[in-house]
């Protein structure tokens, strides 16, 4: 009898620790190109598993065809929800319509496909990539002003993310739009570094070999900036001093580079979607609906000293990286 009571108690504990719903969630992830992506994968997958739900995870390895195959396989398996972020923006119409026809609730994460207006989805959470690009240039302009270099002719090189990715398209758009407001800043060269450290380093090497006077590197993610720092050091220059380096994502390694004086700023793009995702799935299970708005998380900007404006109204000020690095979870 005692054994039976102990067994019932243990079972009750296990059941109350896991979610009331038994769900199977298919997650089509892009790949593992950056620290951001690793943090995103861990955050989302761990949260699903902590709920006691079954996760069917697919790493697309940066290939659209792999992601299309994964989505079709989720349909065949009859998963309860599909989480999706696409390596590029275009080319998803057909497969996402198949998801809709199968009546599997689709949750869009991170990079939003260009066919978004033509498909059904249960909820969407993504980065405000255009705004992130604008923040990079606003921070730069205000920093140069503070340094007494506001009127100087400034030569900029840019490392772009994976060509055609929502994050690349949006950040490029934001950067170019904001540069229009600063005729003293010239974008002298721009190339893709595919959001990876290795390619960021290689492309920066070619920039340094072909361009004499680089004042600023705008890197569409931190990983490429970190690779570029190695190229700049190898060329005998001081990153963060001889070349101002601005990244995007706000990964811990970028904070370390800022504190070491080798990088100047990182504009935040959070990979931590679990706190949105889990309550949303629970809400959907309870019959709630979330409309068609794409939710953008609140994000900040980090640098060596803090106090530099980066929003259009000039009210939000950058945060000193050293003050918050210990709280950083990615």
Residues that bind ligand AHR (CB under 6 A): 33-34, 36-37, 110-111, 127, 167, 195, 221, 223, 248-249, 269
Give yes or no for a contact between 38 and 69, defined as CB atoms under 8 angstroms apart.
no
* Residue from 237, 243, 245 nearest 265 by CA: 245
Minimum CB distance to ligand AHR smaller for 34 or for 201: 34
In angstroms, give the least distance from the CB of 151 to ligand AHR. Answer: 32
In angstroms, give the least distance from the CB of 100 to ligand AHR. Answer: 23
| CB crowding 49-71: b at 16 or more within 10 Å, else e | eebebebbbbbbebebebbbebb
- 68: phi > 0 → left, psi -120 to 50 → alpha, else beta; which? alpha
Minimum CB distance to ligand AHR smaller for 178 or for 223: 223
In angstroms, give the least distance from the CB of 71 to ligand AHR. Answer: 18
Minimum CB distance to ligand AHR smaller for 51 or for 62: 62
In angstroms, give the least distance from the CB of 157 to ligand AHR. Answer: 18
In angstroms, give the least distance from the CB of 39 to ligand AHR. Answer: 9
Minimum CB distance to ligand AHR smaller for 221 or for 264: 221
Q: What is the DSSP letter of 301?
A: E
Q: How far apart are the C-alpha atoms of 44 and 316, rounded to whole Å? A: 29
* Residue from 37, 60, 40, 36 nearest 48 by CA: 40
Edge to edge, the sheet with strand 123-126 lists 54-59, 24-29, 81-84, 106-110, 123-126, 294-295
Give yes or no for a contact between 87 and 65, defined as CB atoms under 8 angstroms apart.
no
Q: Please give the backbone phi and psi of residue 18, each rounded to the nearest 5 degrees, phi first.
A: -100, 170
Edge to edge, the sheet with strand 265-268 lists 185-192, 154-160, 216-219, 244-249, 265-268, 301-303, 319-320
In angstroms, give the least distance from the CB of 164 to ligand AHR. Answer: 12
Q: How far apart are the C-alpha atoms of 251 and 27, rounded to whole Å? A: 23
Minimum CB distance to ligand AHR smaller for 144 or for 217: 217
Give yes or no for a contact between 321 and 258, defined as CB atoms under 8 angstroms apart.
yes
Minimum CB distance to ligand AHR smaller for 140 or for 224: 224
Minimum CB distance to ligand AHR smaller for 75 or for 301: 301
In angstroms, give the least distance from the CB of 179 to ligand AHR. Answer: 20
Considering just the CA atoms, what is the radius of gyration of the chain in Å? 22
Minimum CB distance to ligand AHR smaller for 51 or for 89: 89
In angstroms, give the least distance from the CB of 222 to ligand AHR. Answer: 7
């Amino acid at each position: 009898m005692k054994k039976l009571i102990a067994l019932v108690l243990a079972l009750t504990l296990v059941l109350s620790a896991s979610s009331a719903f038994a769900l199977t969630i298919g997650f089509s992830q892009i790949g593992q190109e950056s620290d951001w992506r690793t943090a995103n994968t861990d955050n989302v997958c761990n949260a699903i598993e902590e709920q006691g739900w079954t996760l069917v995870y697919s790493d697309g390895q940066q290939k659209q065809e792999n992601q299309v195959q994964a989505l079709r396989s989720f349909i065949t398996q009859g998963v309860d929800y599909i989480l999706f972020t696409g390596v590029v923006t275009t080319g998803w119409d057909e497969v996402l319509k198949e998801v809709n026809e199968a009546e599997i609730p689709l949750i869009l994460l991170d990079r939003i496909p260009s066919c978004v207006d033509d498909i059904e989805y249960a909820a969407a959470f993504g980065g405000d990539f255009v705004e992130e690009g604008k923040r990079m240039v606003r921070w730069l302009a205000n920093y140069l002003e503070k340094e007494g270099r506001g009127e100087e002719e400034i030569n900029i090189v840019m490392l772009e993310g994976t060509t055609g990715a929502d994050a690349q398209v949006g950040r490029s758009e934001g950067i170019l739009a904001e540069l229009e407001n600063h005729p003293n800043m010239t974008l002298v060269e721009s190339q893709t570094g595919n959001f990876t450290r290795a390619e960021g380093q290689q492309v920066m090497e070619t920039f340094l070999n072909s361009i004499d006077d680089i004042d600023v590197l705008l890197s569409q993610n931190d990983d490429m900036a970190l690779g570029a720092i190695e190229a700049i050091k190898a060329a005998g220059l001081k990153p963060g001093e001889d070349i101002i380096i601005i990244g995007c994502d706000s990964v811990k390694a970028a904070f370390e580079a800022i504190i070491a004086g080798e990088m100047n700023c990182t504009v935040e793009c959070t990979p931590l979607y679990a706190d949105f995702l889990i309550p949303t799935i629970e809400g959907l299970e309870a019959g709630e609906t979330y409309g068609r708005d794409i939710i953008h998380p609140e994000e900040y900007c980090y640098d060596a000293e803090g106090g530099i404006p980066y929003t259009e109204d000039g009210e939000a000020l950058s945060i000193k990286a050293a003050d918050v690095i210990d709280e950083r979870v990615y």
